[in-house]
Amino acid sequence: MKKINFTILILLLALSCSAQNKKEQIATLNKQVDSLGLVINNQNIELDLLTKDIVKLKEEVSKLNNTLFNNTGNIEELELQIVSNKKGIEETNLFIEQVKEVFWYKPTEENIVDDWKFFRPDYKINEGPYFVAGDFDNNGVSDEAWILINHTETKMRFCVYMNGNIHNTIIQQFDFSYGYYIAKAEAGTYETYCGRYNECENGEPAEFIVKNSAIYFGFAEKGFEIYVWQNSKFVSFTISD
C-alpha cells in the first residue's frame, strides 16, 4: 500500500477550500451587483418620473406666462380705454363749456340784484334794466330790446328782436356786469353830448330826433348812449360821457 503524501493532500484541500471561497465571494459579489442594478434601475425610474414632472411644471409655467401676458395685454387695453374715456370726458366737458359760451338766456326777476335792483323802480312792471319794448323801427310793430346773459355768466349781449322775429340783431357784446342797463327813449328831440357843450366837429350832430322810440344803453354812474333806427340800422348817439 502506497503511502499518502499528506503535504500534497493538505495543499489539495487548501486549494479546494480556496476555490470554494472564491465561488462564494463571486456569488456574493454577483448578488451585490444585482442589488446595485436594482438600485440603479429604481433610480432611473425615479429620474424618469422627475423628468416628466419637470416637463409638466414647465408646461404649467408656460401657461402661467401666457396668462400673465394676456392679462398684461388686457391691462394695457384697459389703461388705453381709461385714457380714452378721460379724453372723452374732457372733450365732453369742453364741448359743454363751449355750448354754454354760445348759449344765451333772457334774464328774469331772479337776476334783479346789485345795480339792477337799484334801477328796478324806474321801470314798468313788465320791463326792467335788461328788457324794454317799443316800435324802434317805426313800422307800427312792437320790437324788443334785451341784455342777454351767456350760461357761463362771463358775457352779456345788448340785442334787439325786430318785429317779433326769433332771431336777434346784436348791438354790442361785453363782459358780464349788472352795471349795464337798457331803457326806453320816448319820441322827441335829443341833444348830443357834443351839442350840449358846443364841441361837435367833423359832422357830429348837435341833436337828433326819435320818431317813435329808441333805446338807452349805459353803465351805472357812467356815460350812456341812445340807439336810434336810421337807414335800416341802429345808430348810436352819445348823450353822456
| Distance from C-alpha of 204 to C-alpha of 119, rounded to nearest angstrom | 31
Mean pLDDT, all residues of the chain: 83
Closest Cα to residue 101, out of 159, 173, 182? Answer: 173
- What is the domain count for the chain? 2
Q: How confident is the model at residue 140 (pLDDT cuts 50, 70, 90)?
A: very high
For position 118, what pLDDT does the model report?
A: 92
- Residues 98 and 197 placed together within one structural domain of the fold: no
**pLDDT top residue among 36 and 13:** 36
- Residues 37 and 65 placed together within one structural domain of the fold: yes
Sign of CA dihedral 22, 23, 24, 30: positive
Sign of CA dihedral 113, 115, 121, 127: negative
The answer, yes or no, to whether residue 121 has pLDDT greater than 60, is: yes
| Distance from C-alpha of 23 to C-alpha of 180, rounded to nearest angstrom | 131
For position 2, what pLDDT does the model report?
A: 46
For position 5, what pLDDT does the model report?
A: 58
Express each pLDDT in 103-119 by its tens digit. 899 998 889 999 999 99
Cell, residue 140: 307800427
- Residues 30 and 60 placed together within one structural domain of the fold: yes
- Residues 78 and 112 placed together within one structural domain of the fold: no
For position 238, what pLDDT does the model report?
A: 95
Q: Which of 102, 127, 161 is the last residue of a domain?
A: 102
- Residues 72 and 180 placed together within one structural domain of the fold: no
- Residues 148 and 42 placed together within one structural domain of the fold: no
- Residues 96 and 112 placed together within one structural domain of the fold: no
Q: How confident is the model at residue 20 (pLDDT cuts 50, 70, 90)?
A: low
The answer, yes or no, to whether residue 234 has pLDDT greater than 80, is: yes
For position 51, what pLDDT does the model report?
A: 76
The answer, yes or no, to whether residue 217 has pLDDT greater than 90, is: yes
For position 86, what pLDDT does the model report?
A: 78
**pLDDT top residue among 136 and 24:** 136
Q: Which of 102, 126, 154 is the last residue of a domain?
A: 102
| Distance from C-alpha of 202 to C-alpha of 129, rounded to nearest angstrom | 33
Question: Whole domain around residue 115: which residue ranges?
Answer: 105-240
- Residues 72 and 34 placed together within one structural domain of the fold: yes
Express each pLDDT in 170-195 by its tens digit. 999 999 999 999 999 999 999 999 99
- Residues 90 and 113 placed together within one structural domain of the fold: no
Q: Which of 41, 71, 102 is the last residue of a domain?
A: 102
Three-state secondary structure string covering the chain: CCCCCHHHHHHHHHHHHHHHHHHHHHHHHHHHHHHHHHHHHHHHHHHHHHHHHHHHHHHHHHHHHHHHHHHHHHHHHHHHHHHHHHHHHHHHHHHHHHHHHHCEECCCHHHCCHHHHHHHHHCCCCCECCEEEECCCCCCCCEEEEEEEECCCCEEEEEEEHHHCCCCEEEEEEECCCCEEEEEEEEEEEECHHHHCCCCCCCCCCEEEEEEEEEEEEECCCCEEEEEEECCEEEEEEEEC
The answer, yes or no, to whether residue 1 has pLDDT greater than 60, is: no
**pLDDT top residue among 226 and 153:** 226
- Residues 138 and 191 placed together within one structural domain of the fold: yes
Q: How confident is the model at residue 82 (pLDDT cuts 50, 70, 90)?
A: confident
